[in-house]
A = this chain, B = another copy of it.
């Protein structure tokens, strides 16, 4: 299981490696990544490995189209040798690590990419991370469509940590009839709750302490969710406000339905957070189940408190 995967750097090499599998009708499972692989990615690979007896393909490509010119494209970690070890340990068969030129023939530029054909992500890309990072999801969906075209997977595995991305990929597969099974895999966390992310390595020791406020805020909201949406929001906000004194800069805290619409008064929902710690932008999210339990005779007070917290988000 720890034999090294075969590395393909070009589309032709990839096509050659997958041709036999295609002819045999084997199911192809695919995990697109930007490299800098950690235990969260390893978990995606295990999910992919369990989904097929055919080939598991991992792509490693830091996609310039999904980074704004002001973002961390240049300093985004590149750790190919270590990444190949992670893939080997998880029984991955093929690693596709193309150059920018290979994925964007003629080279990539933000100015010219929309001269060509791209994927338009629609309104779901205008909220949350899409509001903070205009064009980000155009870049994500366009490169994932390209990768899907090259790999032609039967099943593709994405992390729930990038929840809005996962929702948009599901939407793309549905709206463009791509016929690919999309699996959303549980977020892997550090023992203290911090969601694993390739960007965590940017954090110094103090920032690392501060960053745990994201998952703590989400957990606090989960605990208060039986008392309704405002109570859940208030619980999360009080932790995030505390962390603000240690340098956490909140981008958004959002309570939504599972498909990122308006939060239901009762039932299943999602809570999502994005914040900057130093210059590092972190995101996290969890499932949440809302209810409308009126705590006790002081319900009026609780409601007033909730309304205040609604306004402060």
Chain A contacts to B: CB under 8 angstroms? 11, 15, 22-23, 25, 105, 114-124, 138, 141-142, 145-147, 149-150, 152, 168, 171-172, 174-179
Asked if B122 contacts A149 (CB within 8 A), the reply is no
Q: Which of A25, A124, A150, A175 counts the most chain B CB atoms within 10 A?
A: A175
Beyond A149-B177, A152-B179, whether A117 also contacts B172 by CB under 8 A is yes
Tallying the copies of this chain within the complex gives: 2
Known A114-B123, A119-B119; 14 more pairs at CB < 8 Å = A22-B25, A115-B124, A116-B175, A117-B119, A117-B121, A117-B174, A117-B175, A118-B119, A118-B120, A118-B122, A145-B176, A149-B176, A149-B179, A152-B179
Give CA–CA (A119, B142) in the complex, Å. 9
Beyond A23-B25, A145-B176, A149-B178, whether A117 also contacts B117 by CB under 8 A is no
Give CA–CA (A141, B116) in the complex, Å. 12
Give CA–CA (A23, B175) in the complex, Å. 25
Instruction: State the Cβ distance, A257 to closest chain B Cβ, in Å.
Output: 15
CB neighbours of A124 from chain B (8 A): 115
CB neighbours of A119 from chain B (8 A): 117-120, 176
Asked if A175 contacts B118 (CB within 8 A), the reply is yes
Q: Which B residue's beta carbon lies closest to that of A115? A: B123
CB neighbours of A22 from chain B (8 A): 25
Give CA–CA (A174, B175) in the complex, Å. 20
Give CA–CA (A307, B15) in the complex, Å. 52
Instruction: State the Cβ distance, A124 to closest chain B Cβ, in Å.
Output: 8
CB neighbours of A176 from chain B (8 A): 117, 119, 142, 145-146, 149
